[in-house]
Amino acid sequence: MTRTLLTARWVIGYEDGAHVVHEHGAVLIEGDRVAYVGPVPATDAQRIDYGEAILSPGFVDLDALSDLDTTILGFDNFPGWKKGRVWPDSYLERGPYEMYSPEELAFQKRFAFAELIRNGITTALPIASLFYREWSETVAEFDAAADAAEALGLRVYLGPAYRTGGQVVDATGTIRAVYDEARGLTGLEDAAAFAARIDGRAGGRIRAMFAPDRIETCTKALLRRTAALAGEMGAPVRQHCLQSETELGLVRDQHGCTPIEYLAREGALGPLWLLPHGTHATGADFETIRDAGASLVHCPLVSARHGGFLRSLPRCLSMGLTVGMGTDTWPPDMILNMALGVTMARIADGPESVRSEALFDAATLGGARALGRDDLGRLVPGAKADIAVIDLSAALQTPDPVQTLLTSCSGRDVRDVWIDGRRVMRDREIPGVDTASDRSRAQAQFDRLIAQYPERTLGHPPLSEIFVPSYRRRTHDRHRS
């Protein structure tokens, strides 16, 4: 069995149910597990000394960005329904189509997985947009995603998103739900067959999950069948809900209740149910989530970019609700999300309402608890050796490494990543990944997608009207001398 000793100025270990900071500490890895955490021991194991760095449990990303993120196109371009983020009737009538080829779909997953690793994320539950899809995600791209996760060494929970319906907008700007229940139920059965086939692959690093799309277009039959199949397998279910006024309105009109009441009523809420984003929850909704043993997935960056925030993280934590974290948008930077999560909680509840460790706990222990995994999110003997090494050479250090992390670091400071005891990133290089070539390929693919936006935007305006430039543009011939 391979034995490796990692040492650094700071090691975030775990004792008696909480993280503990070791200054000048060590982690001994044996095989895929942590064997020891504490002061540097006398050992014949191979030693890697990271110096001024933090050895942190790898981050658990419950809403892990897994495509070339189209939400950044809406950063200054709103409302979304006028900017290609809700299908117009005319696009639906002409027949929605896949805007990426199967190869492009496979590539973007592999590209995104590498970016997650770069940001110190060691466990990922992928999320992607369905706006550019013919309908939902495919088993083929998830087979490719499983291959990519296996090759890169990422720990993943995989399941193609499926849906019984979607939203369309008419010329007056009215958004309504449209359904194709048979297609959604077929998607669910395909997802269940995929789940049974891949669960436990790569020595257990690849697990199954279920990913029904957003709540406002999930039919009762879809929710009940999802709950039954996921329950049989013991697999997590991620159900987006409580994330917009439009969603609340559509659920109220169709079911006469809040999204959480709808889920609870259909028996579709319980342990292993992961709920992004909770920004539109009532106090009663939070209590229902807690009492069901379900978990909230907090994604501060994407919420803040849309002017939303959780009200509030301190309140959810003091109620005893399990809160994990998700990146959900570009960049998939968990450190940025933790830092913003602190800011957001202070805006919601006052400057002394929260400390850094609440967000650090959510990104590690909270995510692990949401998945029912006591071997993840902590560095303790017996836990999986999933470790992010954050280099502090560019940081202005405070006396505390977690406070340094949230005030002075970003995902780009992650230097090495270990998953399942394997060094999957070394000095920012991921074996088998040609970063420069992949980044230019990703940009070209994204540019081709952007060029297709007029086809699925209300009124089919030109690109310059969908994506309004910041300043007047002067474009020049790059070859002119």
Stretch of 23-31, 272-280, 312-320, 332-340 contacting Zn ion, by CB under 5 A: 272-280
The yes or no reply on residue 247 touching Zn ion (CB under 5 A) is: no
Select 63 or 247, whichever has its Cβ closest to Zn ion.
63
Select 278 or 314, whichever has its Cβ closest to Zn ion.
278
d(CA 372, CA 447): 40
Do residues 381 and 34 make contact, with C-beta atoms less than 8 angstroms apart?
yes
Q: Which helix (H) or strand (E) holds 322?
A: strand 322-325
- Of 433, 434, 416, nearest to 425 by C-alpha is 416
d(CA 62, CA 400): 27
Beta bridge partners of 46: 4
The yes or no reply on residue 63 touching Zn ion (CB under 5 A) is: yes
Least Å distance, CB 259 to Zn ion, is: 14
Backbone Cα Rg of the chain? 22
Select 28 or 241, whichever has its Cβ closest to Zn ion.
241
Select 63 or 266, whichever has its Cβ closest to Zn ion.
63
- Of 177, 166, 72, 94, nearest to 460 by C-alpha is 94
Least Å distance, CB 310 to Zn ion, is: 13
Binding mask 290-329 for Zn ion (x = CB under 5 A): --------------------------------------x-
Tally the C-alpha atoms within 13 A of residue 84's C-alpha that lie toward its C-beta.
30
- Of 382, 420, 366, 377, nearest to 201 by C-alpha is 420
Least Å distance, CB 80 to Zn ion, is: 14
Select 161 or 264, whichever has its Cβ closest to Zn ion.
161
The yes or no reply on residue 266 touching Zn ion (CB under 5 A) is: no
Stretch of 61-69, 209-217, 386-394, 465-473 contacting Zn ion, by CB under 5 A: 61-69
The crossing angle, in degrees rounded to 10, of helices 435-451 and 102-118 is 130
How many residues would you count in the chain? 481
Size of the site for Zn ion (CB under 5 A): 3
Stretch of 266-274, 276-284, 354-362, 468-476 contacting Zn ion, by CB under 5 A: 276-284
Select 216 or 328, whichever has its Cβ closest to Zn ion.
328
Least Å distance, CB 478 to Zn ion, is: 38
Least Å distance, CB 324 to Zn ion, is: 12
Least Å distance, CB 393 to Zn ion, is: 33
Least Å distance, CB 53 to Zn ion, is: 31
Least Å distance, CB 161 to Zn ion, is: 11
Select 328 or 391, whichever has its Cβ closest to Zn ion.
328
Those residues whose C-beta lies under 8 Å from the C-beta of residue 236, and which sit 6 or more positions away, are: 125, 157, 209, 210, 230, 272, 273, 274, 370, 371, 372
Do residues 398 and 120 make contact, with C-beta atoms less than 8 angstroms apart?
no
Select 125 or 389, whichever has its Cβ closest to Zn ion.
125
Do residues 405 and 56 make contact, with C-beta atoms less than 8 angstroms apart?
yes
**Site for Zn ion (CB under 5 A): which residue of 80, 126, 165, 276?**
276
The residue behind tokens 């907090």 is: 298
Do residues 167 and 84 make contact, with C-beta atoms less than 8 angstroms apart?
no
Residues contributing to the site for Zn ion (CB under 5 A) = 63, 276, 328
